[in-house]
Amino acid sequence: MAAVDSFSLLLREIGRSCNCYMETLAFIGALYTAKTCFTFANDTYTLIRLHFIPRLISRADLVKLYGKWAVVTGCTSGIGKSYAKELASHGMNIILISRNKEKLEALAKEIVDAYKVETAIIVVDFGEGREIYPAVKKALMGKEIGILVNNVGVFYNHPDYFANLTQDKIWELINVNIGAVNMMVHMVLPGMVERKKGAVVNVSSIFCCQPTPQMTAYSASKAYLDHFSRALHYEYAPKGIFVQSLIPFFIAADSKSKCFFVPSAEEYAHHAVTTLGISKRTTGYWLHSILFLLGQYIPEWLWAWGSYRTGNSLGKEATLQRLP
């Protein structure tokens, strides 16, 4: 009995001495639970405010808010093409910039016929580097540029190791994904600042939220666009300029490849334009926002593991393809 009594006494003493630690742990747990609930409630509110409320009110007058002309780069297919048409549906005149003259002319005619606005085209290859920009700047002179959409980009067709890329392809990726955005913004910002209004939309990617092996240069360039946009917004928001980092997930190439989380380019652009002036950093589409939240909270090692698995399933031969 003495041994039993001693053991019971020992347990009580241990419990008494650990009581303060248990209270501390319970307090920390309560704080973590409260933080998680607050974050979830805030994210839910943001989702509703950004993606659903704007659809219930009248469409914004983008011409009045920002200016008469919009510039869209990489605009002959995909998000760029649909974004240009969506802006035209709001009554904005459109300057289309890409490297394919025939596709530019066809899109310009389509926009004029459908929306009765003015259009202009600029044929340039952003992969050629700094030599192209004096001609672009000259072509933009005299236009009241209200919105700039930097959509042009280079991406990996198939994941591969960085050392397997050629130097020409690496420079192409830098010139197009990074250089084009910097130079286009640098050209249009002074006019926006002078008028004290304007908007810049830089199209990043879901791959900006985590380092992505076998898409190393691509994901890094998209992370650059995201950080560049966010910092630029802090610099120029006081001057009346709205800068948005647009972070899409996958977009369907055609109507047959659409699914729940993969909208068509037209559907995506329609949603994305409604976030303009509301959110400086958004996926542009409510279902993509859910995926983005998941992507941010996935452990980095798990994201990297998934990247390797994806790369191995797609094959080890990598090429880079220019968006039109």
Instruction: Tell me the pLDDT band of 267, cut-offs 50, 70 and 90.
Output: very high
pLDDT in tens, 66-124: 999 999 999 999 999 999 999 999 999 999 999 999 999 999 999 999 999 999 999 99
Residue 301 in this model has a pLDDT that exceeds 90? no
In a domain, 9, yes or no: no
180-184, 274-278, 303-307, 315-319 — which is least confidently predicted? 315-319
User: How many other CB atoms sit within 10 Å of the CB of residue 293?
Assistant: 17
Q: What's residue 321's pLDDT?
A: 40
Please check whether residue 246 lies inside any domain of the structure. yes
Per-residue pLDDT, 209: 85
pLDDT digits (tens, 9 = 90+) for 218-257: 999 999 999 999 999 999 999 999 999 999 988 987 777 7
Burial label, 80 (beta-carbon count in 10 A; 0-12, 13-18, 19+): buried
* 3-class SS of residue 284: coil
Bridge partners of residue 117, in order along the sequence? none
Nearest Cα to Cα of residue 217 among 170, 258, 269, 256: 170
pLDDT value at residue 316 = 45
User: Of 46-50, 168-172, 273-277, where does mean pLDDT reach its minimum?
Assistant: 46-50
Flag whether 216 is in a domain: yes
**How far apart, in whole angstroms, are the C-alpha atoms of residue 282 and residue 126?**
26
Look at residue 44 and tell me if it is in a domain. no
Question: What integer pLDDT is reported at residue 192 of this predicted model?
Answer: 97
At 304 the pLDDT is 85
Q: Is it the case that residue 305 has pLDDT exceeding 60?
A: yes
Packing angle, helices 101-115 and 78-89, rounded to 10:
30
| CATH code (residue 263) | 3.40.50.720
Residue 176's pLDDT is 96
pLDDT of residue 47: 58
In a domain, 21, yes or no: no
Contact assessment for residue 318 and residue 157, using Cβ atoms and an 8 Å cutoff: yes
36 belongs to a structural domain: no
Mean pLDDT (whole number) for 164-183: 94
pLDDT tens digits, 182-227: 999 999 999 999 999 999 999 999 888 888 999 999 999 999 999 9
Number of domains composing the chain = 1
State the DSSP code for 60.
P
Question: Mean of the per-residue pLDDT values for the chain?
Answer: 86
- What's the pLDDT at 323? 42
Q: Is 158 helix (H, G, I), strand (E, B) or coil?
A: coil
Q: With pLDDT > 90 as the criterion, what percentage of the chain qualifies?
A: 58
The pLDDT, as a whole number, for residue 46 is 61
Report the pLDDT value the prediction gives residue 57, as an integer from 0 to 100: 61
Higher pLDDT, 309 or 321: 309
In a domain, 32, yes or no: no
Task: Report residue 25's pLDDT band, with 50, 70 and 90 as the boundaries.
Answer: low
Which two structure tokens, joined as six digits, stand for 247? 């972070």
Is 213 inside any structural domain? yes
Question: Which amino acids are annotated catalytic?
Answer: 218
Q: What is the pLDDT of residue 315?
A: 52
Q: Which domain holds residue 195?
A: 61-322
- Do strands 145-150 and 198-203 pair parallel, antiparallel, or not at all (unpaired)? parallel
CA dist 204 → 70, 230, 307 (Å): 19, 12, 18
